[in-house]
Amino acid sequence: MNLMYVAVGAGIGAVGRYELTILGKRLAPIIPFGTLLINVLGALLAGVLTGMLIDNRLSLFLLTGICGGFTTFSTFTADTFVLVKNQRFGIATIYWVATVGLGIAAVVFGLWLGMLIR
């Protein structure tokens, strides 16, 4: 049963990631804005859910499933590599710093928000 919670959540998260990736490419075709947005929103949601101390089944569905299927470290690293390969060093640096910095800030804010909601 646990596998089902994770699988269904991951499918939902992956569809959300796909949609935001398409939107990001339309809004900012030169930079990987969609991936940045996805990872920061995923970090925020992970922080909120962790701060709320949700039960195990709900955690499997929301945190492991949806957040895991939604966020994408592999695309973040690949996007950074492509920017560097194309000698877009400034954009690569800004993208890397923004993703890591905003991701950490989003988790911290999410934890605080989740504890308030709890």
- Determine whether the annotation assigns residue 75 to a binding site: no
The answer to the question of whether 71 is labelled as a binding residue is yes
Contact present, 116 and 55 (Cβ < 8 Å): no
Which own/partner contact pairs does 54-61 have at CB distance under 8 Å and 24+ positions apart?
57/2, 57/5, 60/2, 60/5, 60/6, 60/9, 61/5, 61/6, 61/8, 61/9
Query: Residue positions in the annotated binding site?
Result: 68, 71
Query: Residue positions in the annotated binding site for Na(+)?
Result: 68, 71
